[in-house]
Amino acid sequence: MRSAVLVLGLCALFPLVLGDCFRSLLDQGATQCKDDTDQTMHDIGSSWRNSKCVECACSANGLRCCDSLPSVSGYPEDCVVEFDYEKCTFAVIKKNDRSVECDFDAVL
């Protein structure tokens, strides 16, 4: 029984790891959604990843987009998070020596 409760609890937390999401409704009669980041139009039923690594899907219910890159916290002040939007990855590195990776506590 404890295992089932633990699994359900972890499943409930899983969407929180995926990043921030937002929705927007389509105008009446619209057949496409607009990605405001890239200023591109996408047909209903399509999905894509934009130039800021945001995963989007267009449906008759509207546009739904979620960050695919995490928010990182708990790293030292002499470090910085550097995002690679071409590969949709990140690194936590020293500000004064970008070849040195830093430890961090949490990915939110």
Q: Please report, for the domain that includes residue 95, its CATH number.
A: 2.20.25.590
Q: Is 10 within the bounds of a domain? A: no
Concatenate the DSSP letters of all residues of 41-99 into one string. EEETT-EEE-TTSEEEEEETTEEEEEESSPPEE---TTEEEEEETTTTEEEEEESS-TT
- Whole domain around residue 88: which residue ranges? 72-107
Examine the domain organization and report whether 58 and 90 are in the same domain.
no
Do 56 and 80 share a structural domain? no
Mean pLDDT of 91-95: 96
pLDDT, tens digit, for every residue of 48-92? 999 999 999 999 999 999 999 988 999 999 999 999 999 999 999
Residue 3 lies in a domain: no
Whether residue 7 is contained in a domain is answered as no
How many separate domains does the chain show?
A: 2
Q: How many CB atoms lie within 10 A of CB 35?
A: 19
The model carries a pTM of: 0.72
Q: 37 with 78, same domain?
A: no
